[in-house]
Structure 1
Amino acid sequence: MRSLERHRDVGAYALGVLDEAEAFRFEDHLMECPRCAAEVTEFGPTTRQLMLYRRATPRTVHPFAGPGPRLLDRLLGEVAGRRRAAKRRLLFALAASVVVALAGPAVALRAADGGEETVRVTATDERSGVWAQVTIEDEVYGSQVELRVKDAAGPRACHLVVVGRDGSEQTVTSWNVPHHDARPNTMKGGSALHPDEIARYEVRTKEGERLVTLEPR
């Protein structure tokens, strides 16, 4: 089936309408298409509501009773409306990020007690669709690192690697990305390298594929 037709199967897959063979083929497509993975996630609330409705339906209801023929169209319309609203919010966020990018990708935050500055770096990889933000604090032992990441292409195992200016590498933290879940996940870890000794931060899969790179300035 052509890629365009695969994109159109998102709603049917999320609502469990596809047969077993079509669902299997669509899942193969889903592993390579961040756009469809994100759209499947958006159907989550609708799918949960249908599950709750099914559980609440009395046993006296005829087993062949079904929704009207326009139900799927209405559901798709609701999801499309939510996507349009989300797109508008994204455009505002992108406009704000451009302003930040012009000033540099790393933001320095002064600690409330007047101590060392905290550095925050944010990046999105256009190829993988993965968004990440690292917040780094200088400590006596090295750095304390907090990572927030959005990755809708799970399930997969990932880890955050710091790359030193001398070329050395250290794994800060690792995690498992849930199945097609685009919500942000937050992890914390530490590195023996101080912030000024770190050249970049890389989110990688367990196979070594780079999903997003964050470079402080």
Structure 2
Amino acid sequence: MTSRVEHTDVGAYALGLLDDDDKAAFEEHLATCPPCAAELADLSGVAGALVGIGPLEDLGPPPSRGEAEVVDLMRRKRAADRRARRGTIVIGMAAAVTLVAGGLTIGTQLGDSGAPAVAASGQHNHLGPAEQFYADGTPVAGTGAAGVTGGLVIESKAWGTHAALKLSGVKGPLECELVSVSKSGQRRVMTGWAVPSAGYGVPGQPEPLYTHGGSPDPLEKIDHFEVVTSAGQKLLTVNV
């Protein structure tokens, strides 16, 4: 094998088309040439790589196919696979951008880990975890600022206190938090969310907001809960 062809013999080597002398020479070259080693890895699995590149009849009958044609076939397949992978990445990125732009999800779901969740009623055909928890429990009504109504369903957990909130009569844009206030006055943020301009539970947007979160304080040590804005305005107080 000469230096003129050594870098182009990767496909021929992968297909077993080299004679013994050229095969031995290529293997010696392969040990010191990372680009060839990388290309050989790309061309591994010859049978699988030939799937999906189009009708083989276009290359002519088998006796007329030379080594160069078969190697070119392999390389065209590899290029097509690269394009397909790039297309998949672009589609995935576009889908992610669509989800963010559409505002389909705010917050995360809550399990025993205590991570918060926020959902507007009516967004899905089934109840979200916060709304389901609220519907299954016994709400404690809160005292709200002008026009604000809501309540909490509260339960004790091994890790602290879990609460689901229903909130109406709120217009945005606002940033809000559900806070537990202990009997000693310690405040714990249980969850936070952004209220869009349309708001929740108001004319034009009648669906209330449901969200839930957790406090590390046990229920017996909590005095009350508050919904407050980032500006410090108290929207709702729920005494326990």
Does the TM-score normalized on the shorter chain lie above 0.5? no
Bigger radius of gyration: 2
TM-score normalised by structure 1 residue count: 0.42
